[in-house]
Amino acid sequence: MAERSKRVAENVAGQFYVDDTCIDCELCRETAPANFTLKPKAPRYSYVIRQPDGPAEFAACLAAMDECPVEAIGDDGA
């Protein structure tokens, strides 16, 4: 489970975030491309570039969180 205390600095404020356990597997960027992006310089990892806008993006973020192989995506709730 992702830890708020380990959030990466690039995350925008809001409900969803990525912590420092991300292994850059690309799954979240493929599942919710409007919301996750890549930090291109080492160390490479994903982070939340935009919080979900609407039910489809919210569902995509939840799916990315559920499917993350290292549980690096967190949800602070509403």
Report the chain's mean pLDDT, rounded to a whole number: 96
Task: For residue 30, give the DSSP letter.
Answer: H
The pLDDT score that the predictor gives to residue 20 is 97
What is the per-residue pLDDT across 23-66, written as a single tens digit (0 to 9) for each?
A: 999 999 999 999 999 999 999 999 999 999 999 999 999 999 99
What's the domain range around 71? 4-75
Q: Which of 9, 23, 2 is nearest to 76 (CA)?
A: 2
Q: How many domains does the chain have?
A: 1
Asked if residue 73 lies in contact with residue 26, where contact means CB atoms within 8 angstroms, the answer is no
C-alpha span between 69 and 78 (Å, rounded) = 24
Residues 6+ apart with CB under 8 A from 47: 8, 10, 11, 17, 18, 22, 36, 37, 39
Question: Could you tell me the CATH number of the domain that includes residue 33?
Answer: 3.30.70.20
Q: What is the pTM of this model?
A: 0.94
